[in-house]
Amino acid sequence: MKKSILILTIAMTVISCQKSTESLFNGSNNPYGAPAFDKIKTSDYLPAFNQAISASEKEIADIINNPEEPTFENTIEKLDRSGKQLDQVSAVFFNILEADGNDELNTIAEKISPLISAHEDGILLNSELFERIKAVYEQRDVLGLNAEQMRLLTETYRTFTLNGANLDDESKEKLKDINQKLSVLSLKFGQNVQEETNRYELFITDEQELKGLPEWVKQSAKELAAEAGRQNAYKFYPTRTSFIPVLTYADNRELRKELLMAYTTRGNHDNEYDNKQIIKQTLQLRQEKAQLLGFDTPANYILDNTMAHNSQTVDAFLQSVWQPALEKAKKEAAELQLMLQKDYPGEQLQPWDWWYYAEKLRKIKYDLDEEQLKPYFNLDNVRKGAFMVAEKLYGLKFEKLSDMPVYNKDVEVFKVTNEDNQLVGILYTDYFPRAGKRPGAWMENICPQYIDENGIDHRPIIINVGNFTKPTATTPSLLSMDDVETLFHEFGHALHGLLSNTTYKTLSGTNVPRDFVELPSQFMENYCYEPEVIKTYAIHYQTGEVIPDSLIAKINAAAKFNQGFVKTELLSASILDMDYHELKSVDNLNVNEFEQTSMEKMGMIPQIIVRYRSTFFNHIFMTGYEAGYYSYTWSAVLDSDAFYAFKETGDIFNPQVAQKFKHMLQQGGTKDAQELYNEFRGKPADPKYLLIKTGLIE
């Protein structure tokens, strides 16, 4: 089906994620075909997976056994449209596992992950299927395909070859074994981090030890302790929502150290949750896989299908940003050291001191107190501000749906429509921490956008997940400026999925290279700092006062403050990731020693700890960002350049530029990422706008 087909009206549009799969979940009565979260039982998952895998296997067998000659329609298109049941069951299950997990779900994940890996290998390494794909690929120039069809064909062929389709039978069996082992290790790594996070609890009974902490922090900690059965106590644990306020405000230096060390040593204890051996095994298997597929290192294998293409390009890029960031961080450390000396003569600045003294210095330099800002950042209003930006840029409207089934009482659901009142998609938001939810923030596709063989445009179902401070008995959820930025970031990912307008699900929404996928999210961060946007969401929760211009000016004046620390913390993790994946052997690998050597080699200053130490670096050992963590900074260059395209017109909502940016997002992975960006901007991105924006250069 050609991409020119218009989005159908609501009456004709169906957001249907396989009715047969829904029936396994006891059906869904909502008109959008969203999962029946309120009816799903844990016991449903294994049967659902088994049925979905069987259905997918039959679809693949039908393609292979088709007696007709291979064509784009009967092979490539059929393959793209296969596996819908499995896609939905997987999307629902793994989102629940991460957002609302428990031991029972973990057990199911341990059972199903190897089966899914084996099933995927059964497709990607199927010789008969690949022969049909290859036959179509070799005729590609005479098939009269449109641009999107050609992209689907070339990407399908590329995916199969990069996943071993050209290997001999013995090598294919070895690759299958590697992939299954990696799937299990990845799951175990994440479970260990979660267990280490959950099992640590710090209860404070003497309020004097909490001197300096704002009342909202103490109130939240008190309610957490009460939930744990400890009255008249305060509970803290190693997640950023819990320990960052302590690092920032607590006068108690030992408390700051205790919580930071608890966070940064997760997975690094000699117990059943130790991740060091998992890291070594994972890297060993990734090396074997890369070499089996003809690459010298895992990094070069992984990067082959990205904008960067190889590790040399990434290394050079990281160094170009690392040196300015490191020099800035050294200057910042010197300033903070002078402040520390007044409280602790003769002592050296430590990582658990940085946040605390940086906050004091920010108050001095900019007269900006984070506590002065928080009352203005009611989560509900911040989300409305993000919705407003999407409306002004892309013409989207958001309507809350109160009768939709959800998997947790904290989840809220919104219907998204366009200027013509046509359905764009469904957005779930899940913003508060809970036992069983992994730390961090993310976006998930429950159902991607695509156009089926009948011309029906299936609109996407998207989830935004976060870990913001929960409302208390006396206050709503109040965000820090960092939290505001995170909400806008994840909403940017959601918009990438919601705006998708492609024919094929393989190329839909966020199915783009990893060093491009962060562009839409980081682009949205720019808007949360703009005065005309801040005034739409920053409303004092007690007085109803819109944030004054004086505070907005301070926020923007302070935006470049502490950026040496921020960028050094981030880039050191990116370099560590590359160091691991450029290894050719891990025979003598000692994880802690390797990490320390990596830090020394890059010149990391001891006052800063790498953002993700190895043993809890979920991005690269669990969630698929291996040799890809650099992409946040790579995309930051793109987003800074893209936002400047608006700024240089004098209108951050310039309709002509917005339409071009929207068009880029709608195309998903239907074109080469660099080509997409060049079409939007007219040229490649210029790194100088990132360095200027962050104050790393004048």
Convert the pLDDT of each residue in 279-292 to its tens digit: 999 999 999 999 99
pLDDT at position 28, please?
59
CB 256 within 8 A of CB 352: yes
- Average pLDDT by stretches of 10, the chain with 698 residues: 31 39 53 88 93 96 97 98 93 93 93 92 95 97 97 96 94 94 94 92 96 93 93 92 92 97 96 97 98 96 94 95 95 97 96 97 88 93 98 98 94 97 97 90 94 95 95 92 96 98 97 94 96 97 96 91 95 98 95 98 97 96 92 94 96 98 98 96 92 86
Q: Are 394 and 499 in contact (CB under 8 A)?
A: yes
- Does residue 439 form part of some domain? yes
Are 404 and 530 within one domain?
Answer: yes
Asked whether residue 558 is domain-assigned, the answer is no
Residue 361 lies in a domain: yes
pLDDT the model gives residue 19 = 43
> 518 with 466, same domain?
yes
**Where are the strands (E) in 347-501, listed by range?**
397-401, 412-417, 423-430, 442-447, 450-451, 457-458, 461-465
User: What is the C-alpha separation between 457 and 325, in angstroms, rounded?
Assistant: 46
- Domain enclosing residue 175, as ranges: 19-195
Question: Does 676 fall in a domain?
Answer: yes
Cβ–Cβ under 8 Å, residues 339 and 361: yes
Is 286 part of a structural domain of the chain?
Answer: no
What's the per-residue H, E or C state across 136-147? HHHCHHHCCCCH
Residues 499 and 648 grouped into a single domain:
yes
Give dist(CA 241, CA 361) in Å, integer.
22
Residues acting as catalytic residues: 490
User: What's the pTM value of the predicted model, to 2 decimals?
Assistant: 0.84
Asked if residue 209 and residue 78 are part of one domain, the reply reads no
Answer whether 64's CB lies under 8 Å from 78's CB. no
Token pair in block for residue 28: 């869904």
Q: Are 250 and 211 in contact (CB under 8 A)?
A: yes
189 and 208 housed in the same domain: no
CATH number at residue 167: 1.10.1370.40
Same domain, 580 and 655: no
For residues 190 and 58, membership in a common domain is answered with: yes
- Give the per-residue pLDDT at 22: 53
If asked whether residues 590 and 471 sit together in one domain, one would say no
Total count of domains within the chain: 4
Q: Assess if residue 3 is contained within a domain.
A: no
Domain termination residue (choose one: 176, 195, 214): 195
- If you count them, how many residues does the chain have? 698
Flag whether 11 is in a domain: no
Residues 518, 599: one domain?
no
For 581: left if phi > 0, alpha if psi spans -120 to 50, otherwise beta; the answer is alpha
681 and 612 in a common domain: no
> Residues 176-190: pLDDT tens digits?
999 999 999 999 999
Q: Is residue 621 part of a domain?
A: yes
Boundary of a domain, candidates 627, 645, 674: 627
Distance CA 667, CA 103 (A): 40
Considering the domain architecture, whether residues 381 and 525 belong to the same structural domain is answered as: yes
The secondary structure of residue 603, as a DSSP letter, is: T
Q: Give the tokens for residue 375.
A: 């009352």
| Helix (H/G/I), strand (E/B), else coil: 596 | helix
Distances (CA, A) of 314 to 325, 575, 578, 632: 16, 9, 8, 12
Question: Which residue blocks in 395-513 are alpha helix, DSSP H?
Answer: 481-498
Do 502 and 393 belong together in one domain? yes
| Tokens coding 590 | 């000692």
